[in-house]
Amino acid sequence: MKKLSKTDTAIKRMLDAIGDQGNLRRRRFLGTSRLDQELWSNGGLSFGLNGFVYGSCDFAWFVNEQWIDPYNQARCNEKPYLVIEGTDCLNTRSWGSAQVQRFHHALGPFLCGINSVYFLNRGTFPIRPYLPASAYFASLHGHQKGNRASYLVTDDINDIRDLVMIMSISGTESRDLESKAGEILKRMISYFDETFRNTSFNSNWEEYLKTRAITKTPQGTWVKDLGPKKASLIDSSVRYGHIVLGEALTTEYLLIGSGMLNPETQIFYYLFPLMDRNDIAELDTILEDDKEWNLVRKAGHPWRIITLDDLEGIDENIRRQINQNFKHANLNQCKNEWEAVKESIRHGLRTGQIIINDVASPSPKRIVSLKDFFR
């Protein structure tokens, strides 16, 4: 659940200043209200698909038209046209991890066929290039599957104002809206390309993905590694579940964008080296009703969680260091040592010295599919 802060309120007031335009009306909750946690069809700002909620957003503009909520097929008389997830994290010390934490919030309405914007208010720190790239590739993939909406990332409030004004005049199917969304999408991928095409990567996807802790095995499968401990996922104040999910989703869309993962037929592995199978089983029980964990484990996205138990060929000294030291250590105090261990595992996966004993994920309640409502 998102916690209200002064910066959250400031972002909402920036958006509120755009006002109602034409037949577009605002839905937002200022102050201490938690109504944003309710589904859109119940008067809130949360969006989901096929029984899985992707989190609450901050703001929306809607019209008085009938809409069917893809979460549960409920009918309502207010149709969302534009949904915003906003943050002022570019002006905070947690600007890095905070960016990916809310990626899934704005993804939810987009998967429901609604134009959505992840608005990172311009600040002292830059947007991480992989973030708009992931949203760009999500949009491109969605368009190919029949989703006419776009997932946009911007730090310019004027982009949102322009979108609202265009929709108020010509709705969501106009050439003007297509042009404006296309302009923002082009800016998003151009920003990524500035990094991707520099001398260290030279447009090489495998080299770039290494910087995102994504490793290719000799069998052509992909492994994303992340270091959460079980305790960090149980403690809601840490918000590590948001990071785990955000890293998985951005990995998914970067791999799709690279052309090296077909999400209809292939998966990537999501390695948690600081956990074992029993830890994952315990989390499945403890976090049975946790939105983020259910999205990670059961929503049908193209990844599978694996742990140290699922790696064959790993050096026993490395395994011992992880189990006896790093599982219990403050990783901020031994960053270099922990990074060396992770790099050793990545090297083993790249060379084939370490192989994966495949394990099944829990059966999803439903598979995420745009075909369910874009027909």
Given a cut of 50, is residue 2 above it in pLDDT? no
Q: What is the mean pLDDT of residues 90-114?
A: 92
Q: Read off the amino acid at residue 83.
A: V
Any idea which residue has 């059961």 for tokens? 298
- Gyration radius from the chain CA atoms: 21
Burial of 68-81, coded b for 16+ CB within 10 Å and e otherwise, reads ebbbeeeebebebb
Distance CA 329, CA 326 (A): 5
Distance CA 279, CA 233 (A): 11
Q: What is the mean pLDDT of residues 155-184?
A: 97
Host H or E run for residue 29:
none
- 103-161 tens-digit pLDDT: 999 999 999 999 999 999 999 999 999 999 999 999 999 999 999 999 999 999 999 99
What pLDDT sits at residue 303? Answer: 98
Given a cut of 90, is residue 293 above it in pLDDT? yes
Q: What is the mean pLDDT of residues 167-172?
A: 95
Whether 211 contacts 224, CB under 8 Å: no
What pLDDT sits at residue 185? Answer: 98
What pLDDT sits at residue 37? Answer: 94
Q: Which segments within 143-195 are labelled E, that is strand?
A: 151-154
Distance CA 282, CA 284 (A): 5
Q: Which are the contacts of 354, defined by CB distance < 8 A and separation ≥ 6?
A: 311, 312, 313, 314, 345, 348
Q: Is 25 exposed, middle or buried (0-12, 13-18, 19+ CB in 10 A)?
A: middle
- 232-263 tens-digit pLDDT: 999 877 779 999 999 999 999 999 999 999 99
Confidence of residue 361 (pLDDT cuts 50, 70, 90): low
At 14 the three-state DSSP class reads helix
Confidence of residue 372 (pLDDT cuts 50, 70, 90): very low
Distance CA 196, CA 257 (A): 13
Given a cut of 90, is residue 4 above it in pLDDT? no
Whether 137 contacts 107, CB under 8 Å: no
Neighbours of 194 (CB within 10 A): 9
Given a cut of 60, is residue 189 above it in pLDDT? yes
Q: Are strands 79-87 and 115-120 parallel, antiparallel or unpaired?
A: parallel
What pLDDT sits at residue 5? Answer: 56
